Amino acid sequence: LAVAHAARAGLSNFSLLSAHVLVPPAMEALLADPDCRIDGFLAAGHVCTVMGYEEYEPLAARHRTPIVVTGFEPLDLLQGILQLVTLLEEGRAIVENAYGRVVGREGNLLARALLSEMFEKVDREWRGIGTIPGSGLDLRPEWKAFDARRKFALDSERSFEGSGCQAGKILKGVLKPPQCPLFGRECTPTTPKGAPMVSSEGACAAYFHFVGVGSGEGGAELSVSPP
- pLDDT-based confidence at residue 227 (cuts at 50, 70, 90): very low
Alpha helices in the chain (DSSP H): 2-9, 23-32, 45-51, 56-63, 74-90, 109-118, 148-151, 167-171, 195-198, 203-210
C-alpha closest to that of 15 among 156, 157, 145: 145
Q: Kindly report each contact of residues 166-169 with a partner whose C-beta sits within 8 Å and lies 24 or more positions away, as own/partner.
A: 166/194, 167/127, 167/128, 167/193, 167/194, 167/195, 167/196, 167/197, 167/204, 168/128, 168/129, 169/35
Give residue-wise pLDDT tens across range 89-111. 999 999 999 999 999 999 999 99
Choosing among 3.40.600, 2.60.40, 1.20.120, 3.40.50, the CATH entry for 1-159 is 3.40.50
Give residue-wise pLDDT tens across range 16-32. 999 999 999 999 999 99
- pLDDT-based confidence at residue 1 (cuts at 50, 70, 90): confident
- pLDDT-based confidence at residue 114 (cuts at 50, 70, 90): very high
- The Cα 156–Cα 154 span in angstroms is 6
Domain segments of the chain as ranges? 1-159, 161-227
- Average pLDDT on 48-73 reads 97
- The Cα 154–Cα 144 span in angstroms is 13
- Neighbour-count burial for 108-132, b at 16+ CB within 10 Å, e otherwise: beeeeeeeeebbeeeebbbbbbeeb
